[in-house]
Amino acid sequence: MLDPLALAVALPLLGALLVTMLPGWSRTLGMLTALATTGVALWLTVTVWSGEGLRSDLGGWGVPLGIGLRADGLAAALVAMANLVALAISINATGYFGAAESSRKFWPLWLLLWTALNGLFLAADLFNLYVMLELLGLSAAALGALTGTREAAEANLRYLLVGLLGSMTYLLGVALLYTAYGVLDLELVAEALTPGPVAWSALALMIGGLLLKSALFPLHFWLPPAHANAPAPVSAALSALVVKAAVYLVLRLWLDLFDGIATLPAAMLLGLLGAGAVLWGSWRALRAERLKLLAAYSTVAQIGYLFLFLPLLTAAPDGDTRERLLTALVLLALTHGFAKAGFFLAAGLVQKSTGHDRIRELGGAAQSLPAATFTIGLAGVALIGLPPSGTFFAKWVLVGQAIALGQWWWALVAMAGTLLAAAYVFRVLARAFNREPTPKCFLTDPRTEIPALLLAALSALAVGLAAQPIAVLLGAGV
Amino acid sequence: MSSSNPQALLIPLLLAAIGALLFWAFWSGLTGHEGERLAALALERVPESGASNPVTSVLLNFRAYDTLLELAVLLAALLGIWSLGPAAAPYQRASLLLDSLVGWVVPMLIIAGGYLLWIGGQAPGGAFQAGALLGAAGVTLALSGRPNAGLPGEAWLRVLAALGTLVFALIGLTLMGVGLGFLTYPPALAKALILTIETGATLSIGATLAAAFLGGRPRAKRNAEP
Amino acid sequence: MSHEILLTQLLYGGAGILFFLLGVWSFISHEPLWRKLIALNIMGAGVFHVLVAVAYRGLDAPPDPVPHALVLTGIVVAVSATALALAFGRRLDREAPEHTSDAHGGVDDREDGTHA
């Protein structure tokens, strides 16, 4: 009896252990693990999509004694996205880390990061989430420093410390909940939780700690240098997946654990910070001088959009409106995951072949690297939110519901952010196309370009059109 | 950082206010809620877990999944440390007196580690305490000038560091394969499985801690001697 | 729950909260890496203190083993994180510009200029 939930965590862990022990085989073993893990993740998503929520009790003790894993629609949607992106990053990494030495360093840490991502999306236990957060934070910081430069080490040390501060704060919240209720399973605590000082303190500590990790404005200061200085496949993973995991956890706690505790004013505060992130992040992206820094600031902005949904979700009555908002939110998160990963992989290629990633000097990149430029264009479509990307539908719902629920100001923020996004994307594309077009051949390095291209195409074309199945998935297994 | 800075006063005041709120929350958490708690259930089911020490039951059976991932965190830290650079140069070789003391202390640490590993099933002790003692033996060796803290070369060290987690994960997967579920021990085998996992974990924890103390990738054997 | 147990739990748990906040204060107001790491470990010790206090159920009853196990797990995680952060510090020291004596403090110094 194979359990897809446990396999989604155990397989990448097993792979990480094997590549640690047999570094000479790291590429082969790593790719095999990547394929197997993605297969399990898709199996898991299809199972949930067909109407069965998954739950498994590890050790067979059941709650509250043992630790559970579970997948509802929200978890399954993110697992599918994260594993597809991770597979593309893995393929790209086999080309990017050509030299044996850096490839040996990359694979075990990367598979441990993957373990933590799947474990985090599927966890149903508050303390287990802490362990996953730490595994994620440690492996992400170590991977981010693989470029070996001083800037990368500084940025990732700061990221590590901020992450530790965040997870310690989260852990104190868990300790308070255990003090009051004596259980750690998320659903059991949620059932028992009543408004009061314990609930409010735990909410503030846990959400606060996670906001640090999800880089919500003005706690985003650590993100741009850490993401911009990492090797390209790692940047893609950090921006598309690692930050998203923290945001997912905020959402999970907000909707499942603190439902009824979290008040509208608290949600408004987070929405306000989200608005700040949209405007400030987009503005800094517009002013960025380097392609990867632009992408990193754009992540700050895109994280902001996700938080704009919180006040709407909190204000929305249960039922249809709430479901549509949640679908839009997930659509946005998935689209950004695909788009940003594709963008970073393409930026990595530009950096590798031109020796720099200064936007001002991109002149003619489109001529020498047509596939990479096309990728950036497609990802740009998704980041701006042009139809038929998922972002377009998500913003459509966001603006519509903001007005319907009487919180019209979020609509203004979303529109301003969209204009700024268009400006920063076209600024890159304008530089890339400023020589007469004489493309010789579309692909220059298929192994690094095709994964990026597929991710960007998924983000710009597929996710938006798949809004209906995604809505079905989110409705399933609750 | 001068104390005349208003910020230097503001932060402690703010933290004191937060502290008062947290203390209130803690107090109301202790007094306010009389419900079913995990503690009674955990103690009640210890006899079924294969270990008579309740903490070991929780760590290696009820919440074994946490422990598996915690070993992965330890490994991630070591891999991260290795990726940041080579180990520091070895310490100067200790004098004769200290050296013979080390010759006494290290075997004692190893024996004490073995004892803690064994006793962990019934009394306080277990893989982490035992691993910490082995790690301390490694640190002692490194401080007294032994290159590589008495650890094997990089190839074997990699095996040693991953071994504990590998044994743990493979046992979990095998149990899933035979239809029991991930990390679900059959009661008859629980004691033996826990001891196997703990032995592997002790070796890996000890090796990882000692290797982490060296602060970087192990140096090749040839040029290790000063 | 008897009076003695509650008082003990409040005393030790309250001390844990105090440790946690002292750690937070030290983390935000000191620049050098080693001070930040000690601060983080004090914060961790504070949380563990709270958990151990919750586990206490009087002198006659066995303590709740679950928080004890959580603390053991937490300690190993904290050790791992500290070790990795120290390796980062060593990496930065190795090619520190000029004065290496307090180069750990240099993590942030380009941005706010408070580094003396």
Model pLDDT for residues C56-111, shown as the tens digit of each residue? 988 888 899 999 999 999 999 999 999 999 999 999 988 765 444 443 433 333 33
In this predicted structure, what is the pLDDT of residue A471?
79
Mean pLDDT of the A363-384 span: 84
3-state helix, strand, coil in chain A (%, to 5): 80, 5, 20
Domain presence at residue A440: yes
In this predicted structure, what is the pLDDT of residue C108?
36
Query: If you average pLDDT over every residue of chain A, what do you get?
Result: 90
Confidence of residue A458 (pLDDT cuts 50, 70, 90): confident
Q: CA C29: distance to chain centroid?
A: 15
| Cβ separation A127–C13 shorter than 8 A | no
**Dihedral in degrees, nearest 10, Cα atoms A280, A281, A287, A290:** 160
Model pLDDT for residues C8-30, shown as the tens digit of each residue? 999 999 999 999 999 999 999 89
Q: Pick from A275, A298, A299: which is nearest to A286 by CA?
A: A298
Burial class (CB in 10 A: 0-12, 13-18, 19+), A464: buried
Mean pLDDT of the A140-156 span: 94
Using the Cβ of C11 and the Cβ atoms of chain B, whether some distance falls under 8 Å is answered with no
A15 Cα to chain C: minimum distance (Å):
21
List of chain C residues whose C-beta atoms are within 8 Å of the C-beta of residue B68? none
Q: Which of C70, C80, C91 sits opposite A127 (nearest CB)?
A: C70
Rounded distance, CA B71 to CA B169, Å?
10
Number of helical H runs and strand E runs in chain A: 21, 2
Closest-CA residue of C relative to B132 is C76
A299, pLDDT greater than 80: yes
Confidence of residue B221 (pLDDT cuts 50, 70, 90): low
Domain presence at residue A197: no
Model pLDDT for residues A191-221, shown as the tens digit of each residue? 999 999 999 999 999 999 999 999 999 999 9
Residues 6+ apart with CB under 8 A from B111: none
In this predicted structure, what is the pLDDT of residue B4?
57
In this predicted structure, what is the pLDDT of residue A476?
67
For residue A161, CA distances in Å to B215, B216, C78, C81, C89 come to 18, 20, 12, 9, 12
The total of other beta-carbon atoms located within 10 Å of residue A179's CB is 25
- B105-129 in b/e form (b: 16+ CB < 10 A) is bbeebeebbeebbbbbbeeebbbbb
Closest-CA residue of C relative to A126 is C70
Per-residue tokens: A446: 């298929």
Domain presence at residue B7: no
Mean pLDDT of the B79-89 span: 91
In this predicted structure, what is the pLDDT of residue A67?
95
Q: Are B70 and B138 in contact (CB under 8 A)?
A: no
| Cβ separation A131–C77 shorter than 8 A | yes
Identify the residue among C26, C88, C98 best suited for mutation to test binding to A, counting A beta carbons within 10 A and taking the highest: C88
Domain presence at residue B13: no
- Better-predicted residue by pLDDT, B93 or A13: A13
Model pLDDT for residues A251-296, shown as the tens digit of each residue? 999 999 998 888 899 999 999 999 999 999 999 999 998 999 999 9
List of chain C residues whose C-beta atoms are within 8 Å of the C-beta of residue A175? 47, 50-51, 54
Percent above pLDDT 70 for chain C: 81
Domain presence at residue A38: no
Q: Chain A 264-303, CB below 8 Å of chain B: which residues? A: none
Mean pLDDT of the B25-38 span: 84
In this predicted structure, what is the pLDDT of residue A434?
65
Q: Are A20 and A108 in contact (CB under 8 A)?
A: yes
Burial class (CB in 10 A: 0-12, 13-18, 19+), C99: exposed
Model pLDDT for residues A38-73, shown as the tens digit of each residue? 999 999 999 999 887 889 999 989 888 999 999 999
Q: CA B218: distance to chain centroid?
A: 20
**Complex ipTM, two decimals?**
0.93
Q: Which of A3, A21, A177 sits opposite B181 (nearest CB)?
A: A3
Domain presence at residue B80: yes
State the residue for tokens 């563990």: C48
List of chain C residues whose C-beta atoms are within 8 Å of the C-beta of residue B88? 90
In this predicted structure, what is the pLDDT of residue C65?
94
List of chain C residues whose C-beta atoms are within 8 Å of the C-beta of residue B8? 29
Residues 6+ apart with CB under 8 A from A402: A308, A312, A408, A409, A410, A411, A414
HSE-CB at A363 with a 13 A cutoff on CA atoms is 4
**Least confident span in A88-102, A143-157, A229-243, B74-88:** A88-102
- Better-predicted residue by pLDDT, B136 or A449: B136
Domain presence at residue A257: no
In this predicted structure, what is the pLDDT of residue A137?
97
Mean pLDDT of the B132-150 span: 92
A154 Cα to chain C: minimum distance (Å):
6
Confidence of residue A16 (pLDDT cuts 50, 70, 90): very high
For residue B191, CA distances in Å to A159, A240, B56, B199, B201 come to 41, 43, 11, 12, 15
Domain presence at residue B175: yes
Domain that residue A357 falls in: 271-478
Q: Are A203 and A261 in contact (CB under 8 A)?
A: yes
As a whole number of Å, the end-to-end CA separation of chain B is: 43
The total of other beta-carbon atoms located within 10 Å of residue B202's CB is 26
Rounded distance, CA A418 to CA A183, Å?
44
Confidence of residue B222 (pLDDT cuts 50, 70, 90): very low
Rounded distance, CA A200 to CA A193, Å?
10
- The single-letter DSSP state of residue A123 is B
In this predicted structure, what is the pLDDT of residue C109?
33
Q: Are A74 and A326 in contact (CB under 8 A)?
A: yes
State the residue for tokens 């590798």: A352
Domain presence at residue A325: yes
Helices B127-143 and B96-119 pack at an angle, to 10 degrees, of 170
Percent above pLDDT 90 for chain A: 68
Rounded distance, CA A172 to CA C43, Å?
9
Confidence of residue A441 (pLDDT cuts 50, 70, 90): low
Rg (alpha carbons) of chain A, rounded to whole number: 21
Domain presence at residue A365: yes
Mean pLDDT of the A84-90 span: 96
3-state helix, strand, coil in chain B (%, to 5): 75, 0, 25
User: What kind and span of H or E run contains A412?
Assistant: helix A409-432
Domain presence at residue B27: no
Residues 6+ apart with CB under 8 A from B192: B50
A433, pLDDT greater than 80: no
Rounded distance, CA C107 to CA C89, Å?
9
Domain count, chain A: 1
Rg (alpha carbons) of chain C, rounded to whole number: 19
Domain that residue B78 falls in: 51-224
A440, pLDDT greater than 80: no
Domain presence at residue B30: no
All structural domains of chain C, each given as residue ranges with its CATH number in brackets, are 3-112 (1.10.287.3510)
As a whole number of Å, the end-to-end CA separation of chain C is: 54
Percent above pLDDT 90 for chain B: 69
Chain C contact partners (≥3 CB pairs within 8 A): A, B
Domain presence at residue A351: yes
Rounded distance, CA A251 to CA A431, Å?
38
Domain count, chain B: 1
Rounded distance, CA A468 to CA A472, Å?
6
Rounded distance, CA A46 to CA A42, Å?
6
Residue type, B32: G
What does the angle CA B164 – CA B170 – CA B171 come to, to the nearest 5 degrees?
90
A372, pLDDT greater than 70: yes
Domain presence at residue A48: no
Percent above pLDDT 90 for chain C: 67
C113 Cα to chain A: minimum distance (Å):
16
Confidence of residue B6 (pLDDT cuts 50, 70, 90): confident
Contacts 24+ apart (CB under 8 A), A356-362: A357/A290, A357/A291, A357/A292, A358/A289, A358/A290, A358/A291, A359/A288, A359/A289, A359/A290, A359/A291, A359/A294, A359/A427, A359/A428, A359/A431, A360/A289, A360/A431, A362/A291, A362/A428, A362/A431, A362/A432
List of chain B residues whose C-beta atoms are within 8 Å of the C-beta of residue A61? 45, 61-62
**One-character DSSP codes across A86-102:** HHHHHHHHHHH--SHHH
Q: Are B60 and B128 in contact (CB under 8 A)?
A: no
In this predicted structure, what is the pLDDT of residue A436?
54
Mean pLDDT of the A389-399 span: 90
The total of other beta-carbon atoms located within 10 Å of residue C74's CB is 24
Q: Are B29 and A179 in contact (CB under 8 A)?
A: yes
